[in-house]
Chain A
Amino acid sequence: MPLMSRAALLVLADGRFPAGGHAHSGGAEAAVKAGRVTDAATLERFCRGRLHTTGLVAASLAAAAVLGLAADELDAAADARTPSPALRTTARRLGRQLVRAARATWPSPELDALAKAFPKGAHQPVVLGLTARAAGLEPLDAAYCALYESVSGPATATVRLLSLDPFDATGVLARLAPELDRVADRAVEAARRALTEGVDDLPAASAPLLEIGAQAHAAWPVRLFAS
């Protein structure tokens, strides 16, 4: 493993890192259409819900991958925690895009093996964890990256969907920061516990409206975002 470089985290977490995340709203487009997200306050509640459910699950999977838990077991755990086929497809597509960018950025035999084992893409958080590992980052770094993605995607998308003031959207992210710190710690604790208890022990927090909304969204003929 390369030597730890904290700056690698900035490269990986940068919204301009070419991994395709910008095309996805994290369920915000469906929630806006359904009238559940209408302003900065409802966006904040939306993001807070994501943080503690799919965010926590993604962060613990990513942290577990950094710790070296088997990628195929983590991928199966991600499948079981993602009942929506639309969201499973999205997670694998994003995983495939990330593994391509990651192999070019931080070449590693583990990423090569992952790309070979999952030609259609592994779940994005698993790829994120192995990418962080290849970049010499730590489980906590991967957890932060997954959690920040889980809220920054919907916040950015909502700026476009609702013409929300970008300052308001950034304010939402800043207000969530202390909670994000706590969830990141929880995710790493869970990942460490999985080393002894097994992958089944990882968090499985679910968000029914995200799953149901993703299925409704996938059936629309015209969409601004892919998910």
Chain B
Amino acid sequence: MDGVTAAGVTARARIEARADGRGGTALPVLEGGGPLAPRRTRAHGTEARVLLVGAMSGPLGGDRFAVEARVGEGARLHLGSAAATLALPGQAKGEARYDVRIDVAAGGELHWLPEQLISARGSDLHVTTRAELAPGARLLLREEQVLGRAGEEPGRLTSRLTVRLGGAPLLDQELSCGPGAPGGWDGPAVLGGHRAVGQLVLVAPGSPANPAEARMLGEGTALMPLAGRAVLVSAVAPDALALRRRLDEALALLTADRK
């Protein structure tokens, strides 16, 4: 499953959550290692918690990282990462890949709240996050991209987020930035000089009958109801700290809305 070849490191984490029949969540599959080691942490009520702990840096050029998370009917899983992911240039030529696959069954709930992805100068990373939700599944997902470490030019980063609900597309967004990205990525239509960009997706079928209303949540942050019982918060910010502050405020608002 994990290995180091001349082309780069291949690493995969697999997590499967199932209702344990006693009101809690069991983790029959918890696999991974090296840069993607899943660690079970203290449960929170009926929710199992897992943290991805990286024992190596990366991804570097040529590396292949993958995370697979499956949440069964009635199970609740909170999946985070212990630290930011830092994309760096590597010895191996070519882009690195980071693929996240999420599968949530009806009545299951996944919170996928990793730390930031930082695109360092000279790196080349292609990220895909694909969530397949059954009707009645719940999802809270955050992704944050930071273009370069402090004061640094970014690397090349392409990130696609696809959420499907009951087999139909709910959200499909790709962002390409950095040297070699299609023109205008840093211009006034796309990022306009902002160095941090993020999204928060909430799919909550059990939420109140009146859906969330579209509104601005301060500068560079918009709350947008999607077609279906889901909302997206999209934000741009000058840096990682400001972005996290905006998304945390939005998250507090969204979770308060649900109560």
Contacts and interface: CB of A to CB of B under 8 A. Distances in A.
Interface residues of B, number: 39
Interface of A is mostly: helix
B171 A45 contact: no
A204 B174 contact: yes
B214 A211 contact: no
A210 B174 CA distance: 14
A97 interface: no
A206 B175 contact: yes
A215 B221 CA distance: 9
Contacts of A47: 184, 189
A208 interface: yes
Interface residues of A, number: 42
Given A208-B175, A215-B222, A215-B224, A80 B190 contact: no
B146 interface: no
A212 interface: yes
Contact of A83 (B175, B185, B197, B224): B224
Given A31-B189, A80-B172, A200-B172, A212 B184 contact: no
Interface string B131-169: 000000000000000000000000000001011100011
- Of the candidates B168, B169, B171, the one having the most CB atoms from chain A within 10 angstroms of its own CB is B169
B234 A205 contact: no
Contacts of A142: none
A209 B190 contact: yes
A203 B194 CA distance: 23
Contacts of A215: 214-216, 222, 224
Given A79-B169, A200-B172, A204-B172, A46 B234 contact: no
A33 to B, nearest CB: 12
A76 interface: yes
Contacts of B185: 49, 52
B170 A80 contact: yes
B221 A209 contact: no
Given A83-B224, A212-B236, A51 B184 contact: yes
A46 B224 contact: no
Interface string B221-239: 1101111000010111000
Interface in A41-56: 42, 45-53, 56
Contacts of A36: 188, 192
Interface stretch (A1-9, A11-19, A84-92): A84-92
Contacts of A177: none
B21 interface: no
Contacts of B45: none
Contacts of B187: 42, 45-46, 48-49
A207 B190 CA distance: 4
A71 interface: no
User: 9 closest A-B pairs (Cβ-Cβ)?
Assistant: A49-B184, A45-B187, A49-B189, A36-B188, A48-B184, A52-B182, A80-B169, A215-B222, A204-B172
Interface of B: 160, 162-164, 168-176, 182-185, 187-192, 194, 197, 214-216, 220-222, 224-227, 232, 234-236
10 contacts: A36-B188, A52-B184, A53-B182, A76-B169, A83-B171, A84-B214, A211-B222, A211-B234, A215-B215, A218-B214
